[in-house]
Amino acid sequence: MTPHRDGGTGFTLVELMIALALGLLVTAGIISVFVSTSKAGNVQTQMARLQEEGRYAMGQIGSDLSMAAGLYGANTGGLATQETYGYMDGLRSPTAYAQYASLGLPDNTAILANPPAAPYPLPSRIYVSGYECSTAACTPAVPIAVAPAMGTAAGNRVPGADVLTVRYVSGRGWSVVEGGSAQVCDATNNLTSLSIATQTGDAPLSSFQTGDLALLTDGSAAAVFKVTRTGGVFTPASDFPGYAPGCVDTQTDARLFNFTRDFTTVTYYLQLLADSNPDAPAGHRVAALMRKVNGGAAEEIARGVERLDFRYVIENASGGVIVLAADNVAAGTDGSGNAIACPLQPDLSAFTGATLAELQQGCLWRALRAIEVHALVANATLLPTLSAGELAYRYSCDGSAACANTGAAQVPAALTTPLPNGLDKRMLRREFVGLYSVRNYNP
């Protein structure tokens, strides 16, 4: 007699075990797909943030570099020659009638040890001062007034990252030829006084405070000097007896600027910051691009920028160009240590000895045509699940003094060991490169 099941049907133990095994396999597959998708999504999110930070950093740097050495009406272009020297050099290198130490420029590393005894053209290194840095030191040395000391603790400057200071005139100044403005000149065309009538949109004259220096330019020549102000009347002064700033050509749109406040100083460097992410490991640090304006507190521009290299395109007397690091530009040599002749200099015949040598120091900054920027940007968030191969990156300044893009991709080893700059290896990294013309070419 054949047995039969009484009532409802059920599952045997074997059937239950088979069903459970199949369910576990399906669940494992779903979890695997979820983990893989989540990992890929996290990587894509971090890469998008990296790209955004890198693009913003390069855009901000490029905006300032394109203004480097900019004075009012100084978009002259071309290397200074004997033919252009007499006409244009007064604009390219304004004559200072104030003692060098009295210029009061922030982040100033170009102070003369031998102050001149006569009006002098502002040295070209005033406008651009670069620092080539290894993980051990920078050349020239970076004073603490310019940027923090290098180190691997939070608050230190990132070891091996270059530093750059640029200066340019910002603002519109005050017109000296419109709306009743007038200048009074003596028999030798020296400026006796200058009356300013403000126009719509001008800054109030009260912003010109006691001790501020004036910059007066007519698009062909410029001078920096002390003044006293009574209402709208400016009376020039000179630290050098027997010398006085000259009157300007009122047939042009001549303007007066507050040199102390309108001559903007911008310094870029990288700094290590403590990671504020509560999920980050204890002591984890990130790097950030910092921008300091007029010697004030530095502002964080972009997080994750951990390497920064500048290369300077210098034009020689024959019109050719050479790409140099900051230490070579400052020393006046090429990459092999061979001397490079200075471009044509402003008239320095009134100076001799140590003062002359200091005014000529860093003369190659006078022939700067463009600045090339290399930045290595990390996503600033740890990705410990990625392999060394997935974390590989290329940085063209590795193993190349000229930052030529010839190096192989870097595959980080010993992922839990920090980099020489103190940063973690377990982050995505990509290089950003920009070439920015110095439009106010001011040799």
Tens digits of per-residue pLDDT, 96-118? 999 887 788 887 766 778 888 89
Q: Are strands 138-139 and 222-230 parallel, antiparallel or unpaired?
A: unpaired
For the chain, what is the radius of gyration of the CA atoms? 30
Query: What's the burial of 339, exposed, middle or buried (CB within 10 Å: 0-12/13-18/19+)?
Result: exposed
Residue extents of the structural domains in the chain: 174-263
Instruction: Report the Cα–Cα distance between both ends of the chain, in Å, rounded.
Output: 113
- CA-nearest of 154, 147, 425 to 276 is 154
Q: Quick one: how far is CA 85 from the chain centroid?
A: 29
Q: What is the phi-psi region of residue 146: left when phi exceeds 0, alpha when psi lies from -120 to 50, beta otherwise?
A: alpha
Amino acid 97: pLDDT = 93
In angstroms, the Cα distances linking 24 to 15, 16, 32, 262 are 14, 12, 12, 71
Amino acid 311: pLDDT = 95
Query: Residue 258 and residue 374: Cα distance in Å, rounded?
Result: 34
Query: Residue 381 and residue 426: Cα distance in Å, rounded?
Result: 8
Q: Which residues contact 269 (CB under 8 A, 6 or more apart)?
A: 142, 146, 147, 148, 157, 158, 161, 163, 164, 290, 292, 298, 308
Return the percent helix, strand and coil in the chain, to nearest 5: 20, 30, 50
Q: Quick one: how far is CA 296 from the chain centroid?
A: 15
Amino acid 85: pLDDT = 41
Query: Residue 317 and residue 255: Cα distance in Å, rounded?
Result: 32
Amino acid 92: pLDDT = 63
Amino acid 74: pLDDT = 54
Q: What is the DSSP letter of 158?
A: P
Give pLDDT tens digits along the chain (443 positions). 555 555 556 778 887 788 788 878 877 777 776 666 665 666 788 888 899 999 999 999 999 998 888 876 654 444 444 444 444 454 567 889 998 877 888 877 667 788 888 999 888 888 899 999 999 999 999 988 899 999 999 999 999 999 999 998 888 889 887 555 688 899 999 999 999 888 888 889 988 888 899 999 887 788 999 999 999 999 999 999 999 999 988 777 788 999 999 999 999 999 999 988 777 778 888 999 999 999 999 999 999 999 999 999 988 767 788 999 999 999 999 888 888 888 777 788 889 999 888 888 888 888 888 999 999 999 878 888 888 888 899 899 887 777 877 667 888 888 888 888 888 898 899 999 999 988 665 44
